[in-house]
Structure 1
Amino acid sequence: MSTVSVSPEATAPGTGRRGQLLLAVLLVAQFTVALDFSILNVALPDIGEGLGMSLSNLQWVVTVFALTSAGFTLLFGRVADLVGRRPMFLGGIVLLGGSSLLGGLADDVTTVLVARVGQGLATAVLAPVAMALLTTSFPEGPQRQRAIGLGGAMLSAGFTVGAVLGGVLTGLLSWRWAFLINVPLCVVVLLAAPGLIPRHQERERARLDIGGTLTITTGLLALVYGVTSAGHNGWDSTGTLVSLAAAVVLLAAFWLIESRVEQPLVSPRVLRRPSVTWGNAGGLLTFTMFSAVIFLMTLYLQRVLGYSPLVTGLAFGVQGVTAFFAGVFAPRLIGRFGSSRATLTGGLVLQAAATGALLLAGDSRDSLALVVIATAVGGFAHVLSVVSFMVTATSGLSNQEQGLATGMTSLTQQVGITIGIPIMSAVATARIDSLSATSSPAAAVLGGTSHALAIDALIVLAGAIVIGFFLRRAARV
């Protein structure tokens, strides 16, 4: 086994003025990553029109980003453990800024797609590494919980601001600014970070698990491609079935490899920890189901109530505010209840209740108030669950294992966001199609979204019960 020398990363330097500045830099980086994830969604039609992209090709602007960001997150989190988080973080910022500049100056489809691949790879680097720097820069307990809470708040703020800012920049200026807005943010981080992130000392580098790396990366790529393909081509299409079957085989091979190699990419010992297993299960559940809720309510507001995209975006603005405050107050709630396990379970139950309340929405515009209130409560519950799952899944591990742990939490986030919409969209679409013959288009959409929301709420509630049970049982052992 390789030995690792003690480094500044192995201590908790996040105290005093320097620690607060480091926290600010990491939060800006996380905000930028979240902003980049959502800002282009609104701009897609204008990108297609400006570059002459067909509808079938336009989906790849989103798909290639999802593939690379989810497929390489775990790998880069582990590589950062081996070569150091500082160079990986700085390299990720340079890659994000350069890719965003390339996308903003693009004149053809190929260049835009290359830029999106670069942004996805940068996200796969920055998401786990920034999180690992947060967890290793602050001692386990209230300080780390506060840092993770603020990180969750900035992620939520980035997603919300990205959705609104994408529409504003595209409408007032050009779709190119949905790319270019990242550049000054990356420059600010790049100027401030080198003097704040501690340098790691020389260490003996462990060998990278090549077999595990190849199987997990290709397996995740196949999984994400299969699910996103299902959203466009159906679950019974040949491409979808082949991709999902390949994902099962590759991920099973990965687990077999990891249980046999001397220096695994992902230690089975870490994955067997109940806090890691069930914490990430809670994270996958909240990300998958809440991203689907936002999609379903966007469909409902525009196709049933007839609101414009601008009004729809503003309706979710309140949810963004409550989600931000959830990130700020989550550490206090964790401290009050004495356990992130309790707040994770409570957050999931509250998210299920808020989703269930949306079943009361009808075909009258008076339902807008209900949607605003329910999604606001759901946004608070979602971020409370996010912060709690991150605290749960990264607690009790050594600093040398934090890259793996935060890589897992980042992977959970990326996969959850990616697969939630296609899965629940398929549920809603099937119901809409069955109602179309006997109902008006608006009534069919209302029936389909209500059906999907009911299933969403039941899954979250059932998951909360199971996760809470196993986490409590593990705590008693």
Structure 2
Amino acid sequence: MTTAETTTTAAAAEPSVPAPARMTGRQIAALVALLASQFMMAADFSVLNVALPEVGTALGFSTGGLQWITTTFALCAAGCTLVLGRVGDHVGRRRVFTAGMAVLAVSSLVGGAAESPTTLLIARTLQGLATAAVTPAALALLTTAFTAPALRTRALGLNSVMMSSGFSVGAILGGVLTDVFSWRWAFFINIPVAIAAMLVVPRVVDESKAERRTRIDLPGAVLVTLGLFAAIHGVTRAGEEGFDPVAGMALLAGIVLLGAFWAVESRTADALVPVRVLKKPDIAFGNLAALFVFGGETALIFFTGLYVQDVLGLSSLAAGLVLLGIGTGQIIAGTVGPRILQRVPPRTLLGVSLTLQGAFMLPALWATSDSRWLIPLVATQFVNAFFSMTAALSFMVLATSAVDSDLRGMATGMATQSQQIGIAIGIPLLSAVFAAVIGHGTSSGPGTAAEELTGIHAAIGVAGGCQIAIGLLLWAALRHGAAPRVP
């Protein structure tokens, strides 16, 4: 029986023992510090997106080379999360968190002071590694700091708000910092946050690690990291340059390496990811859902900005104001989501939420070049964002509650990695759809407003349709079984 099942059974057997209704002062301080770090990690992914042209001009990047500013970060963040989450199980999650924050501070200083493309890309690589270390460690520390199910669900809900809204806010924050100061401040702003986290977290969060010491599965770590690197690079290349031989070879290499990883894990005693865990429906389907929840939402944010600026001809500030509808929906859902989970099983909520997330993406198919369509766009995206957040919250509860404490870092690392992979591949995959419809690659430059509107319709239609299909699949696959309600 898992830890979550034991807790739920005990709660059902002793209804007279209520879960703590309030967080202690130490728990509040821990929550603030850990959530601030999660928000910064998510924002780092997109903070330079709007500043890429200025960065390219300042440092001498080629047009084709600019995409590596985002790609190097995404490759490291998504490719190394699972391995570093498992390292946290062995050496201590708080220790890995603190080390990751130190790397973030140093890499942000290097990036902000960069005078060449090589230096900047090194900094972005280190920032991706910092994200891969900090994000699963912070999530595992949250789940161990809040042992009461109700408080844990509330903390996970707020964590999902930070992770989901960080991408959109990062793009807006990067634009503001670039306009008011310089693109270099998109790096420098991380330094005080990282230092504060390094000082506060060791004082308010207890160390946690696996109770049973095991060896680190080095072959599995190498195979899964290289496999994800290759697969994500292939998807990114296909989205930006079209499906050329380089993209095809990278995808094939990724499939082969990940297949070898599965074979190795099934024969290894101390596996990086035990196959028995991957076979749990809550784990397998929950992590599958995360790819579509986060990939679809970040792509929607990207194409909304494209629509507002390139089709309607409005400013980046206007695009930011439109995206506030998404952020507001996520914040409200993150607040009320734990209460919904007290009444609706996570399995049910995940399938329903993902289906409705996709359904409320589809009204964008009727968007025109008339700016009057902005009001219904904001309204439907608000509802879409609400359900994306309830989906993210229910996924996180499922993915982190289905294992015992020794595997908590692995489970949170895998959940975080699924989020990161979704964020990393969502835009490139749908950009490939966009490029195919408008007739040329995204690196060839923008098309006409009419062409871009057609491409946006196609990309959003594919994203929404996939979310509806996967949501219905999850509902059908997970509706049977004793998935506990959250007390």
TM-score by length of 2: 0.90
Query: Which shifted more, 61-70 or 31-40?
Result: 31-40
Once the 2 structures are TM-superposed, how far is the Cα of residue 475 of structure 1 from its aligned partner?
A: 3.2
In the other structure, the counterpart of 1:399 is 405
Query: Residues 207 and 361 of structure 1: is their aligned pair in 2 closer, same or farther, counting only changes over 3 Å?
Result: same
**Partners of 1:61 and 1:116 within 8 A in 2:** yes
Query: CA separation of 1:344/1:203 partners in 2, compared to 1, >3 Å: closer, same or farther?
Result: closer
Shift of 1:141: 2.1
Question: 2:163 maps to which residue?
Answer: 155
Q: Given the alignment, which residue of 370, 375, 381 partners 2:381?
A: 375
**Which stretches in structure 2 are left out of the alignment for 5+ residues?**
1-18, 441-446
Q: Is the 8 A contact 1:213 1:265 kept in 2?
A: yes
Cross-structure match for 1:80: 88
Matches within 5 A, 1:5-44: 16-44=24-52
Look up the equivalent residue of 1:118 and give its one-letter code.
L
Matching residue's letter, 1:308: S
Asked if residue 366 in structure 1 is aligned to residue 379 in structure 2, the reply is: no
Residue 336 (structure 1) shift: 2.3
> Which residue among 457, 465, 468 is the counterpart of 1:458?
465
Structure 1's 451 and 372: CA in aligned 2 closer, same or farther, altered over 3 A? same
Structure 1: distance between partners of 2:219 and 2:387: 39
> Which of 414, 422, 427 lines up with 1:408 in the alignment?
414
Distance 1:140 1:18 in 2: 15
Displacement of 1:441 in angstroms is 2.8
- Distance in 2 (alpha carbons) for counterparts of 1:62 and 1:160: 15
- Rounded to whole Å, the distance in 2 between the matches of 1:456 and 1:60 is 24
Q: In 2, Cα distance between the equivalents of 1:139 and 1:472?
A: 26
Mapping for residues 31-180 of structure 1, pairs under 5 Å: 31-139=39-147, 141-180=149-188
Residue 417 of structure 1 corresponds to: 423
- For residues 483 and 147 of structure 2, the distance between their equivalents in structure 1, rounded to whole angstroms, comes to 24
Contact 1:67 1:221 in 2 (8 A): yes
Distance 1:441 1:99 in 2: 39
Which is further off, 14-23 or 417-426? 14-23
1:233-255 Cα shifts (integer Å, max 9, x gaps): 211x1110110000010000000
**What is the CA-CA distance between 1:103 and the residue it aligns to?**
0.7
What is the distance in 1 between the residues matched to 2:376 and 2:204?
45
- Aligned-partner Cα distance in 2 for 1:416–1:259: 25
- Equivalences for 1:182-331 in 2 at 5 Å? 182-200=190-208, 205-235=213-243, 237-331=244-338
Deviations 1:188-207 (A, max 9, x none): 11111111121358966311
CA distance in 1, matches of 2:280, 2:26: 33
Q: Please say if residues 72 and 217 of structure 1, whose CA atoms lie closer than 8 Å, have aligned partners that are also in contact.
A: yes
Residue by residue over 1:118-172, the C-alpha shift from the partner in whole angstroms, topping out at 9 and shown as x without a partner, is 1000000011111111112212521111000011112234323322111111011
Deviates more, 1:176-185 or 1:103-112: 103-112
Distance of 2:126 and 2:459 partners within structure 1: 34
Write the distance in 2 (CA, Å) between the matches of 1:95 and 1:476. 39
Equivalent pair of 1:361/1:370 in contact (CA under 8 Å)? no
In structure 1, how many angstroms separate the alpha carbons of the residues matched to 2:48 and 2:404?
Answer: 37
Offset from partner CA, 1:378-425 (integer Å, 9 cap, x none) = 111111111111011111321111111111111101110111111111
Q: Name structure 1 gaps, 5 residues minimum.
A: 1-11, 435-439
**Structure 1: which amino acid aligns with 2:382?**
A
In the alignment, is the contact (CA less than 8 A) between 2:39 and 2:162 conserved in 1? yes
Counterpart secondary structure, 1:316: helix
User: 1:342-386, CA deviations, whole angstroms, 9 ceiling, x for partnerless residues?
Assistant: 221221122112111112212211111122112222111111111
CA distance in 2, matches of 1:341, 1:421: 27
Determine helix, strand or coil for the equivalent of 2:343: helix
Q: For residue 314 of structure 1, what is the amino acid of its counterpart?
A: L
**Cα distance, 1:114–1:374 mapped onto 2, change above 3 Å:** same
Tell me how far apart the structure 2 counterparts of residues 263 and 156 of structure 1 sit (CA, whole Å). Answer: 33
**Residues 203 and 329 (structure 1 numbering): CA distance in 2 closer, same or farther, change over 3 Å?**
closer
Q: 1:330 to 1:476 in 2, by over 3 A?
A: closer
- Verify the 8 A CA contact 2:141 2:208 in the aligned structure 1: no
How big is each residue's C-alpha offset from its partner over 1:18-46, in whole Å with a ceiling of 9 and x where there is no partner?
12211111111111111212211112111
Q: Within 1, Cα distance between the matches of 2:75 and 2:298? A: 17
What is the identity, as a one-letter code, of the residue corresponding to 2:318?
A: V
Cα distance in 2, alignment partners of residues 88 and 424 from structure 1: 34
Q: Which residue of 2 aligns with 1:353?
A: 359
Identity of aligned residues (%): 43
Q: Please give the per-residue CA displacement for 1:290-319, whole angstroms capped at 9, x wherever unaligned.
A: 222222222222222222222112211121
CA RMSD of aligned residues (A): 2.0
Measure, in 1, the Cα distance between the counterparts of 2:392 and 2:292: 10
**CA positional deviation for 1:451:** 2.2
In structure 1, what is the equivalent of residue 455 of structure 2?
A: 448
Q: 1:171-220 deviations in whole A, cap 9, x for unaligned?
A: 11111000000001111111111111213589663111111111101000
Task: Measure the CA separation in 1 of the matches of 2:89 and 2:401.
Answer: 17
| Cα distance in structure 2, aligned partners of 1:190 and 1:139 | 23
- Structure 1 stretches of at least 4 aligned residues deviating more than 6 Å after TM superposition: 201-204
